[in-house]
Amino acid sequence: MKNKKPIIGILGGIGSGKSTVAAEFAKLGCKVIDADKIAHELLDKPEVREQVIALLGSQIEDPHGKINRSKAAEIVFKDRVKLDKLNGIIHPLVLQKTEELIEKFSTDNDCKAIVLDMPLLVEVGWEKRCDRLIFVDCDEKIRENRVKNKNFKKNHIKNRENFQISLDKKKVIADNTVNNNSDFSALVRQIAEIFSYIIDEC
């Protein structure tokens, strides 16, 4: 294996519970790299913020001069060209930070494995960087209910996923699937079983 620690990639749709699964891996001794968190931090950097505002317009600024991510998303998920340009600004920086964290965690004796919680993991080709891919399977109705409290309108899931590789394809390339349609304890048991297998194998 190229890396000192196994790298686990989490796949799944919006609202499927990818971050919940990643958090459970963290409890088992893994280090989680949260790509969304990295992207949010980058948007607070003046040089990145200026580029994004130049691309999408001043209407995405809130009264404090910060980027309103909901307004930015509303624009780019209706415009493939702007979405690609935004990704061109953000993604290289996210991936660079991710590589730095992988290098750091690879030498951490307390780290059993590295988990990538990266929404566009397959879209940017990082499935090849992973030793194990885990798909979080969840019914669409349940996913819709989960994102209701996150300022998502009903059509937001479909709008965003239309710009991504289909969930069916992601499920096919995954090494393991966890079902997140039932209770939390069932999910925890599935994750523990898969993790035990990964550690034994590596």
Q: State how far the Cα of 147 lies from the Cα of 15, in Å rounded to an integer.
A: 6
Which tens digits make up the pLDDT trace of 153-198? 556 677 788 888 999 999 999 999 999 998 999 999 999 999 999 9
Q: Is the pTM for the entire model greater than 0.75?
A: yes
Average pLDDT value over all residues in the chain:
92
Residue-range domains of the chain with CATH? 7-196 (3.40.50.300)
Which tens digits make up the pLDDT trace of 66-117? 999 989 988 998 899 999 999 999 999 999 999 999 999 999 999 999 999 9
Q: State how far the Cα of 106 lies from the Cα of 112, in Å rounded to an integer.
A: 9
